[in-house]
Structure 1
Amino acid sequence: MRVSRVPDLYNMSRRAAITGDDSYASRIEVLQYLYARNSSPQQAAEALASISLSTPSELAVHLTLTWTTLIIAAREHPSHQAKLADVLASLALLPDAQKNAQGDPVIVHNMRVWADLPTLAWEFNYEWNGFVVPLHHGPERDATIARFVNTNRFAARLMATHLPAFSCFSLFALWTMRAALETPLVHVRPDQSLDAHVPAAAAWIDVLGPQIYEWDEEFEYGSLIGDGGVGGPLWDGKHGFCRERWGLWRERFGGLAGGEEGLSEDVKAVARKAEEKMRDIEMAAV
């Protein structure tokens, strides 16, 4: 069993507005070239790295702009997620930026640029922190749900690269599984609708199911670091991943698919498919 320290993802302020920033526009231009197949993910990564490093005194701000650009692109344009994941992976594989002639690496918040992709996880955390589903059905609600599902799928894609820079993203998977599958439907707040969390949880199974089945990991917890791996009302076991918790999730997907009141037929179908995939994964592992 691996014991993991919970990354410092808590008490994050709301995402800053970036739409009026010229640097944001330059990053969008890089992605447009990528989408049009005028550049490769590697070339896009190098271009984004150059933009981010252009003003060393404001490096942390420029990294935030780069991460935000990529996250928003992935959640708004899911058809480009494979390319965007390749861009982030290429960034993580770039030689570390050097701050002097001696070759000392550039460090931001105790993380190396580029191997650790400093503050990327913090920016992803904005997508979970304070997430609420609009109460009234309509286009805004549908778009909010779609963005959340897309963000979860993108995070799972990044974890599927097995690069160390994305290893802490397992906590995002756990948060989504907990919200979707560890709270009885009657206790789910209206603004935390399972219409969002069940498809988001299913996305993790779809992209990363076999790996999640093998995870045996517990997150550290305590008064000073919080308890990111704690279970919902239906789970009182390990503060992390294990086969028993996987089993609960599979059973809950099945229960939701079986007709719990308040869920749409589309969500029930997603839950049913996720349960079937989990069973297939278990059978393949025998």
Structure 2
Amino acid sequence: MTSLDAFLRAQREQEYPPDPEMLTALEALFTDPSLPASTAARTAMTQVIAAEDANPKPNPNLESFWILLFQAIGLFTEQNDRLLELILAIQSLPDCKGGFHKLPGIHEYLLEFVFDYVDHPFNLPYSDPEPDITDRAWLHFPPHRDIQRQAWLNVNLFMAKLHPHVTTTPVYGFIGHGEFTIRKTLEKAPWEIVHHENLEEHLSFWLEQDEEEYDREKDDQMEMIDIRTLDGWVPAAAVWFRLCGRAMYEKEGHEMSSEWEGSKWTGKPGWSRERWAFWKERWGWIAQVTALNRGTREIAREMVEVMGRVGTE
């Protein structure tokens, strides 16, 4: 487990560190359970407010805060709820003419830097030591499977918890990000394909290397589309059904982001009861995959039950 001291030290040592007040607020939030989240929120946004509050059309810049927040979400599993309190308190700040209410920049940050997860099922075994904290993005630590998987689970859990509390979001809301996790888990099956044109093109650049280097790159690429990547995807997808199942079920007829080439889903685009039923079938299929961890298969069986309950409520 990464220590808070190590995390804060790494943040301060970055070339472009977050505001000192943000780090002060985070440390106080984590170490003092009695501290109101509203106090931490105001402290964290001190410089942001000072820079924009007098602007006739304030536009709070939270870019450095989003970087800090999602690194903390990924690393500090036990602080997930505390960080949720913080973000809701920031959203409630009246400063900058209510400019915090829409959590400016969060969707762009999520799309570009968070919801682009790639699972590495064989990268390092369970016995490898935890890497030292670095100033890299939370999802790009030295390749350590379990740390990355936990971070991915943490961020999906956080966003699923946040979704019911935030209404001033784009049309898809935070469920739109959850949709990516769900569809990647339940609708993509690259392990069923034996010839990958995109990978062949990628590997063509390695033909001039020696055979050992080519084979190593091929193995690295194939690892990322192995069926055992589901051990990293399934827990993260499941939290959306547990926490937002009813909300997703009721999105019948709403649009989704664009459909994906090679998807197992071949029905009509968008949210539908037919798609919901297909997802339920896919959970049942995952529960039967011998190659997956026992916990993964147990989650899949649970999801069949969860979806069944939602459909009959």
| Greater Cα shift, 167-176 or 148-157 | 167-176
List gaps (5 residues or longer) in structure 2: 1-10, 127-143, 194-221
Task: Compute the RMSD of aligned alpha carbons.
Answer: 2.8
Larger Rg: 2
Task: Provide, for residues 122-142 of structure 1, a one-character-per-residue CA deviation record: whole Å limited to 9, x for no partner.
Answer: 222211226342542425111
1:267 and 2:267 correspond: no
Residue of structure 2 in register with 1:52 after alignment: 48
1:122 pairs with 2:105: no
Contact in 2 for aligned 1:71/1:151 (Cα 8 Å):
yes
| Residue 150 (structure 1) aligns with | 154
Q: Using the alignment, how far apart are the partners of 1:85 and 1:211 within structure 2?
A: 19
* CA displacement at 1:214 relative to structure 2: 1.3
Structure 2 CA distance, aligned partners of 1:18 and 1:60?
25
Q: Aligned partners of 2:191, 2:101: CA distance in 1, in Å?
A: 44
1:216 Cα deviation after fit: 2.6
- Secondary structure at the aligned position of 1:269 is classed as helix
The higher relative CO (CA closer than 8 Å, separation ≥ 6) is in 1
State the partner residue of 2:165. Answer: 161
Distance 1:61 1:162, change over 3 A: closer
- Tell me if the contact between 2:59 and 2:96 (Cα under 8 Å) persists in the aligned partners: no
Matches within 5 A, 1:40-189: 40-56=36-52, 62-98=61-97, 113-125=99-111, 126-129=113-116, 131-133=118-120, 135-139=122-126, 140-165=144-169, 168-184=173-189, 186-187=191-192
Q: Aligned partners of 2:64 and 2:305: how far apart in 1?
A: 39
Match of 2:280 in 1: 250
Aligned length: 247
Q: Flag the 1:265–1:130 CA change in 2: closer, same or farther, 3 A.
A: closer
Per-residue CA deviations over 1:138-178 (Å, capped at 9, x if unaligned) read 25111111111111111111102143247522221111111
TM-score, reference length from structure 2? 0.70
**Relative to total residues, which structure has the larger strand share, 1 or 2?**
1
TM-score normalised to structure 1 length:
0.76
Which SS does the other structure have where 2:64 is aligned? helix
- SS for the counterpart of 1:219 is coil
CA distance in 1, matches of 2:123, 2:180: 24
- Residues 251-275 of structure 1: CA deviation (Å, up to 9, x unaligned): 1111111x22321111111111122
Q: Could you tell me which amino acid in structure 2 is paired with residue 190 of structure 1?
A: E
Question: Which piece of structure 1 moves more, 143-152 or 60-69?
Answer: 60-69
